[in-house]
Amino acid sequence: MKERDLTIGFIGTGVMGKSMAHNLLRSGYRVHVYSRTKSKAEDLLNEGATWHDSPGELVTQCNVLISMVGYPKDVEEIYLGSDGIIQTANAGTIFIDMTTSSPNLSKQIEAEAKKQGCYSLDAPVSGGDIGARSGTLSIMVGGDSEVFEKVEPIFSALGTNVVHQGPAGAGQHTKICNQIAIASTMMGVCESIKYAERSGLDPNTVLKSIESGSAGSWSLSNLGPRIISENFEPGFYVKHFIKDMGIAIQSAEEMGLKLYGLELAKALYSDLANKGEENSGTHALFKLYE
């Protein structure tokens, strides 16, 4: 399969998926799209994407299918449900699930894909709405290395740090590592900015001093300014982060590992969601400190 022969189906045009599909169009790929809410795909259709009314209809028109949806249950329904796309896909189709999902589910999808003469990769991402728009996502890939090599140019249109991590499920395990690190970091970012305010400092100048030192992080540099300006629009939803942390805790428990910081972060984010902030950005955790 040559790169110029690839037609990409894209399921899910939310905060992340829309920008990712746009970058594929900008890179010259033929892109077909499906989303539960068609209005979310209007910009892509105006750019030349082709709309389909169902995932089953979409998958027959492409040889690479990318999904970027909300929850593992959505992934399972799309691939393995009663109308799952694996059953209707053409032989040789490559499925790429870029949702943060369960490692075990990724292994199930690969096994079912093989039965139908198809292939599967799990390829969750990090970088938020900023990385999705700029095409600088970090992409963590699990699955067969030869399949990865076939679609690596597609990943290069979406991200700048693309790493094949191992067999099916390895991408999801790596994303769990990412979310574990972010969870405790986000608590530190919020507490640092709140401390700066309470001590009478200007948080903006504090940020200039600490973001390039040993305290530096993506969250501090990119979400710190949003916190200071009280812009809590989602680059990544609180509700989806809670989902990710739940997957991580369950996976860790299966391995006999207790994650103290992650459990605390999940408790705080659950409290935040209960206060009506589930559709805010993850940096809205700051509001708990108000």
Q: Are residues 159 and 181 in the same domain?
A: no
Token pair 């399969």 in the structure block, residue: 1
Residue-wise over 183-214: b if at least 16 C-beta within 10 A, else e?
Answer: bebbbebbebbbebeeeeeebeebbeebbeee
Q: What CATH number is attached to the domain comprising 17?
A: 3.40.50.720
Q: Do the beta carbons of residue 6 and residue 31 sit within 8 Å?
A: no
Are both 191 and 159 inside the same structural domain? no
Tell me the average pLDDT across 160-170: 98
Is the same domain home to 31 and 157? yes
Q: Which residues are catalytic?
A: 175
What is the number of residues in the chain?
290
- CATH code at position 226: 1.10.1040.10
Q: Which domain holds residue 204?
A: 173-289
Give yes or no: residues 119 and 177 share one domain: no
**162 and 23 part of one domain:** yes
For residues 92 and 109, membership in a common domain is answered with yes
Given 167, 184, 207, the domain boundary residue is 167
What does the DSSP 8-state code read for residue 99?
A: S
Answer yes or no: do 43 and 113 share one domain: yes
Question: Do 206 and 251 belong together in one domain?
Answer: yes
The C-alpha atoms of residue 150 and residue 187 are separated, in whole angstroms, by 39
Phi, psi of 195 (to 5 degrees): -60, -40
pLDDT tens, residue by residue, 219-276: 999 999 999 999 999 989 999 999 999 999 999 999 999 999 999 999 999 999 999 9
In this structure, the answer to whether residues 93 and 177 fall within a common structural domain is no
Q: At what angle do helices 170-198 and 260-272 cross, to 10 degrees?
A: 70
- Residue 160 sits in the same domain as residue 213: no
Q: Decide which of 167, 201, 227 is a domain's last residue.
A: 167
Among 135, 152, 167, the domain-final residue is 167
Q: Quick count: other Cβ atoms within 10 Å of Cβ 181?
A: 16
pLDDT (mean) for 78-102: 95
**Main-chain phi, psi angles of 140, to 5 degrees:** -110, 115
Residue ranges of E strands in 2-62: 7-11, 30-34, 50-51
Judge if 150 and 243 occupy the same domain: no
* Domains in the chain, number: 2
Q: Which residues pair with 9 in a beta bridge?
A: 32, 65
The reply to whether 82 and 183 lie within a common domain is no
User: Residue 274's Cα: distance from chain center in Å?
Assistant: 23
**Is 0.85 topped by the overall pTM?**
yes
Q: Are 172 and 142 in contact (CB under 8 A)?
A: yes
The 10s digit of each residue's pLDDT in 7-34 is 999 999 988 999 999 999 999 999 999 9
Position with higher pLDDT, 49 vs 2? 49
